[in-house]
Amino acid sequence: MKDMTYDVRIYKTEVYKGQKANTHYVRWRAGKQWRKPFRNAAQADTYRGELQAAARKGEAFSLLTGEPVSWNRPDQPEMSWYEFACKFADFKWKAASAKYRQDIARALTAATPAMLTGGTGQPSDLDLRTALRRWAFNTKQREEAPEEIAEVLAWVAKHTRPISDLSDAATVRAMLDTATARLNGKPAATSTVRRHKTILQNALDYAVELKLLAANPIKTLKWKPVKISYAVDRRSVVNPTQARRLLCEVEAQEPSGQRLVAFFGAMYYAALRPEEAANLGVDNLIIPELVKNVETGQMEEPANDWGELHITTATPFVGREWTDDGGLREKRTLKHRDEGVIRIVPCPPPLTKLFRAHIAEFGIGGGAPLFTGVRGGELPYITCRRVWNRAREMALTDKEVRSPLAKRLYDLRHACVSTWLNAGVPATQVAEWAGHSVDVLLRIYAKCIVGQEEAAKRRIADALREE
């Protein structure tokens, strides 16, 4: 009885007037909101009448399909891939982070073209993917889709193969090939390949749970994983001189540069992830106060200007349509860490100066974030990207700009960790500061540790030297 309900409400049919045709949506509630599209009013009225008749008879409605349990007949049409994909996205929505919701939508969108039957009136590839990624596979947005999007989704609902077709190995392979390729047909990034394959495998596990498939076909498919290198590209790592030039150019960018110098500095000097730096507040900073020079009467930096950063949470940028509260960023625990875990990172004197100057200039106090947009509010990711791209163009040579050098914001974190390792800081300490395990740290940064080969040779030579 847990998979059915008797609490059912049938709503008025909605009509979306598209440019080419109208779409009639029958709406009802059986555990949650359901909506089914029809091309003409007569079909919608018939279906709605059947739902009303079943509800009046007191029939139980399935929480899995939204329809009366008695309709689960052998001659009933099979569930389509599109209907199942929407159901899977809804199933995952509540417990998933905003970022993972995005990942699910992207994976399902990438796979769906392989499950289309084609036909007249097929939308363009761009319109199709936009409608699927931003609306169909977004539980929060689907019911609010504008008319032109609803028209695209109605076409998809009508021209999608049944999910039972995935019992065929060739169909599954075609779907995986489509889901792990770019629009131009070339292979996607290795991380994208792995992520999409994992999400689709989870989706078909859910199909097995719903008894739509006898077994998960992906698990038995001979699929050779793409070999992935986790090591940081040494060409992307800036040296201290380049880093200082970049931060100077950041400060020169109007109107946002000056308020972002300490933001980028936190990534370079303290190895913070972008989402960790974005969530910093004054309460996270433990920095020395200025001291008064008894001779001059001026306030000066103390002899020991090292501080600490107490990192407790992160706010990755995901977009309003994916978060529960409609914010641009989602507040989360530290990556791969439990709730309440604090990571303490040293704050070297150059970063202490940047924080001190930022607070003095913008007067941010209390529990408010240090870094905001020009007009206040959450720090937009696009603002960070624009400022950084412009700073690269101004600080680096043309050849360096074309190279991977500091191309991503994350490369500043890589530069910091590489600096720590090359300075001889023990790997265990670096791992603790960076929020990594030692194993992951050495695997990622192995190619960035330089200068140790000659030192190792000298130690061996000393050991072999005759007395």
Cα-based distances in Å from 409 to 259, 281, 343, 404, 447:
16, 20, 21, 11, 19
Whole-number pLDDT of residue 76: 52
Whole-number pLDDT of residue 78: 78
Whole-number pLDDT of residue 365: 60
Q: Which residues pair with 233 in a beta bridge?
A: none
**If you search the block for the tokens 């009303």, which residue do you land on?**
52
Whole-number pLDDT of residue 368: 77
Contact call for residues 256 and 383 (beta carbons, < 8 A)? yes
Spell out the domain ranges in the chain. 4-220, 235-448
The tokens for 388 are 């950084």
Whole-number pLDDT of residue 311: 93
The tokens for 269 are 């000097």
Whole-number pLDDT of residue 143: 85
Among 288, 262, 212, 268, which residue's Cα sits nearest to residue 371? 262
Whole-number pLDDT of residue 182: 82
Whole-number pLDDT of residue 347: 96
| Cα 444 to the center of its chain, rounded Å | 20
The tokens for 277 are 């730096």
Give the span between the Cα atoms of 18 and 147, in whole angstroms.
6
Whole-number pLDDT of residue 456: 65
Residue 191 class from Cβ within 10 Å (0-12 exposed, 13-18 middle, 19+ buried)? Answer: exposed
Q: Given CA atoms 408, 409, 413, 416 in this order, what sign does their dihedral have?
A: positive
Among 285, 301, 256, 316, which residue's Cα sits nearest to residue 101? 316
Whole-number pLDDT of residue 153: 94
State residue 358 phi and psi, 5-degree precision.
-65, -45
Among 39, 4, 34, which residue's Cα sits nearest to residue 21? 39
Rounded to 5°, angle at Cα 265 from 362 and 305: 80
Contact call for residues 413 and 433 (beta carbons, < 8 A)? no
Give the span between the Cα atoms of 187 and 179, in whole angstroms.
10
Detail the DSSP E strand segments found in 189-339.
285-286, 291-292, 299-300, 307-311, 313-314, 332-333
Contact call for residues 335 and 314 (beta carbons, < 8 A)? yes
Q: What is the pLDDT of residues 171-182, one digit of tens each?
A: 999 999 999 888
- The alpha-carbon radius of gyration of the chain (Å, integer) is 28
Cα-based distances in Å from 459 to 220, 277, 442:
51, 40, 21
Whole-number pLDDT of residue 107: 97
State residue 55 phi and psi, 5-degree precision.
-65, -40
Q: Which CATH fold topology does 235-448 show?
A: hpI Integrase; Chain A (1.10.443)
Residue numbers of the chain with a pLDDT score lower than 70:
1-2, 20, 72-77, 223-230, 336-338, 365-367, 446-456, 466-467
Rounded to 5°, angle at Cα 406 from 313 and 377: 40
| Cα 159 to the center of its chain, rounded Å | 29
